């Protein structure tokens, strides 16, 4: 995922001025938004700090009531929201609707689940502290900063926003400069159901606005974007010891084993690689196919991918490349692969006509080609033949990225999934894990760290608060200088009896 670097200095002419978001299909202005300065961001965080007390004191039930009201309002305005998402990203109406369906499901889950996951619970005190009661709860951090991407401008940042709000935090959200209207829409609709305080605010602008948010004193910063920019975010936050959650790029593999349902695998590869114009961090970018089924798989993928066309109309198979600079990256990857001996069985360099890129399917790609090792973020697929599923696992694990993966196998799916170094795996499907609100989402290695979604995603925006309470005096108390040597001997005797066998 590409995000303007938050360390980029603000342009003097942008200070205190507006910028336009553009429809990538037509170049038309979708809306105008202010460029938030460093002072604007700090003021937003100050207001959020005050609002966080109100929001936290509502408790889980009070917050759930407000979050449910927000969910219902978003559902009521789904058509309006879909049009806005399509306008700012260029994605098809159905791709935008799919994004919104996921958003609503996750918002509902987070609001309903927060109290059970984060609320106070009893903990066993163990052997030595048997005379104490122990409890644990997860408390909100205070103010969470979120920097969101442009490819899924509503669903992806809501993986942080909804879960942070459900946990009791106020949120300051910096949307991508390509999709500022989506961020403003989310914040303004939330404000309709929580009018008392600015619990959730959007600050719009460029890289300098993101940099200001990193340095603003938020209690945690959640970032989604490219790996290089994630490193800059982490460095910026390190100056103030602000903890970070980084969901960075991926080069997600698919494994097609000898016993795979080849038709289902081909369908999954085409959808996972091409929907949303391939602009999906956890989409399929490289496919390793066992020799026994390789020819049939390539034939089916070629047949399916050749039928798909991009376009600006609402019912197009997929839309344009949202960020203009990404077209050059896609072109360089395809060009490099072809120059080094790869073959295009669907499309080729002629498929790249900004802002649209038609499907490109490459085979026989050298293992170190750009298209095989770097995030392309376009409607392209790299398919390589391997001896068997075991070699496919080795190839899949060969990169520093470790976000998601998919495995197609009738009998070895879970076994192969367990051997993959990544955060999530779908067996006999693609990206199913992102649609399950109870599952955590995040990567390892160059794909970042921390988790959104699921119980882990709720705890990500809290700190653990542990309490012990003495209930009665202990017969043996080693935690005092009045204990005497006999007390320690008796304690060790208990240790040997209880734990030495």
Distance CA 314, CA 91 (A): 8
CB atoms within 10 A of CB 192: 11
> 43 an active-site residue?
no
Q: Identify the residue whose tokens are 């205070």.
A: 142
Chain-centroid distance, C-alpha 42: 25
Q: Identify the residue whose tokens are 């016993």.
A: 259
- Would residue 453 be called left, alpha or beta, if left means φ above 0 and alpha means ψ between -120 and 50 degrees? left
> 247 an active-site residue?
yes
C-alpha closest to that of 181 among 204, 211, 213: 204
Q: Are 308 and 274 in contact (CB under 8 A)?
A: yes
Eight-state DSSP code of residue 441: B
Token pair, residue 41, equals 């961001």
Strand (E) or helix (H) holding 358? none
Chain-centroid distance, C-alpha 20: 26
Q: Which of 214, 248, 281, 422 is catalytic?
A: 281
Q: Identify the residue whose tokens are 């114009």.
A: 277
Rg, Å, the chain Cα set? 25
Token pair, residue 342, equals 């790869």
Q: Which of 247, 285, 358, 460 is catalytic?
A: 247
Question: Residues near 239 by Cβ (< 8 Å), separated by ≥ 6?
Answer: 215
Q: Are 187 and 201 in contact (CB under 8 A)?
A: yes
C-alpha closest to that of 279 among 368, 191, 149: 149
DSSP string, 127-169: TTTTTEEEEEEEEE-SEEEEE--SSSTTHHHHHHHHHHHHTT-
| Number of residues assigned to the chain | 501
Give the side-chain half-sphere CA count within 13 A for 212: 24
Token pair, residue 159, equals 């993986």
Distance CA 389, CA 407 (A): 9
Distance CA 260, CA 412 (A): 9
Which residues carry out catalysis? 247, 281
């Amino acid at each position: 995922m590409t995000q303007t670097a938050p360390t980029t200095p603000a342009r003097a002419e942008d200070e205190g001025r507006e910028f336009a978001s553009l429809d990538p299909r037509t170049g038309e202005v979708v809306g105008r938004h202010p460029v938030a300065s460093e002072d604007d961001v700090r003021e937003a965080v100050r207001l959020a700090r005050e609002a966080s007390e109100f929001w936290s004191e509502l408790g889980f039930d009070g917050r759930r009531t407000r979050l449910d009201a927000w969910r219902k309002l978003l559902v009521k305005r789904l058509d309006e929201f879909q049009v806005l998402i399509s306008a700012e990203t260029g994605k098809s109406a159905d791709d935008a609707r799919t994004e919104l369906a996921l958003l609503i499901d996750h918002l509902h889950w987070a609001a309903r689940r927060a109290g059970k996951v984060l609320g106070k619970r009893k903990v066993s005190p163990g052997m030595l502290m048997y005379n104490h009661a122990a409890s644990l709860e997860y408390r909100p951090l205070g103010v969470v900063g979120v920097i969101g991407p442009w490819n899924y401008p509503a669903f992806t940042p809501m993986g942080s926003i909804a879960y942070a709000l459900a946990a009791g935090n106020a949120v300051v959200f910096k949307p991508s400069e390509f999709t500022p209207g989506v961020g403003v829409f989310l914040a303004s609709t939330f404000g309709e159901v929580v009018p008392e305080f600015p619990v959730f605010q959007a600050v719009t602008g460029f890289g300098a606005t993101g940099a200001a948010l990193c340095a603003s004193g938020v209690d945690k910063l959640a970032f989604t974007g490219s790996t290089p920019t994630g490193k800059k975010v982490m460095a910026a936050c390190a100056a103030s010891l602000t903890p970070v959650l980084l969901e960075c790029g991926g080069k997600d593999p698919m494994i097609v084993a000898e016993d795979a349902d080849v038709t289902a695998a081909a369908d999954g590869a085409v959808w996972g690689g091409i929907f949303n114009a391939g602009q999906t961090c956890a989409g399929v970018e490289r496919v390793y196919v066992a020799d026994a089924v390789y020819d049939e798989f390539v034939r089916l993928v070629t047949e399916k991918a050749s039928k798909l066309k991009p376009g600006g109309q609402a019912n197009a198979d997929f839309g344009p490349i949202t960020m203009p600079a990404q077209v050059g990256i896609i072109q360089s990857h395809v060009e490099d692969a072809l120059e080094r001996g790869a073959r295009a069985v669907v499309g080729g360099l002629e498929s790249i006509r900004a802002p649209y890129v038609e499907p490109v399917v490459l085979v026989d790609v050298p293992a170190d080609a750009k298209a095989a090792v770097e995030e392309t973020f376009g409607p392209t697929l790299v398919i390589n033949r391997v001896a068997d599923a075991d070699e496919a696992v080795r190839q899949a694990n060969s990169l520093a990225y470790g976000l998601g993966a998919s495995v197609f196998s009738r009998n070895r799916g879970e076994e192969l999934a367990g051997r993959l170094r990544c955060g999530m795996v779908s067996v006999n499907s693609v990206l199913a894990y992102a649609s399950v609100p109870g599952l955590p989402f995040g990567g390892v290695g160059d794909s970042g760290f921390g988790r959104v979604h699921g119980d882990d995603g709720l705890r990500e925006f809290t700190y653990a608060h542990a309490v012990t309470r003495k209930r009665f005096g202990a017969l043996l108390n080693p935690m005092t200088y009045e204990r005497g040597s006999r007390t320690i001997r008796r304690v060790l005797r208990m240790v040997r009896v209880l734990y030495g066998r």
